[in-house]
Amino acid sequence: MNNAIQNIYDSIALCGFTVDTLKLIDNYMIDIQNGTENFPSFTLAEHAGFCTAGAPLIGATVIASYARASLETGCNASGSEGGPNNRKIDSVQRKGRM
């Protein structure tokens, strides 16, 4: 996972959808559209389509990807199913609630 998306995930987990978090998402959308950032796990063809779809789809995808990671964390919280990303989201969310 790249640093930009990780910073967004951390900001959502700690602060929610504040003005600062939304600015991070906006900046990431601009960087994707300008070709200076890539969305993780997309093929080249998927990424090309993603960039042409526009800012609303990019922003929605960022938020949905965080929600998916968060849901996977909750589903895999018991036992050893959770991977490093799941444990990191759990840890960040616990710190944000204290």
Dist. CA 42–CA 83, nearest whole Å? 20
The parent domain of residue 14 ranges over 3-97
| Nearest residue to 26 (alpha-carbon basis) of 1, 63, 72, 73 | 63
Say how many domains are in the chain: 1
Dist. CA 40–CA 4, nearest whole Å? 10
Q: Quick check: 95 and 14 in contact, CB under 8 A? A: yes
Instruction: Tell me, yes or no, if the pTM score tops 0.75.
Output: no
Dist. CA 84–CA 98, nearest whole Å? 22
Show pLDDT as tens, one digit a residue, over the chain (98 residues): 689 999 999 999 999 999 999 999 999 999 988 888 888 878 888 888 888 888 899 999 999 989 887 777 666 555 445 555 556 666 666 776 54
Q: Quick check: 62 and 8 in contact, CB under 8 A? A: yes
Dist. CA 41–CA 16, nearest whole Å? 24
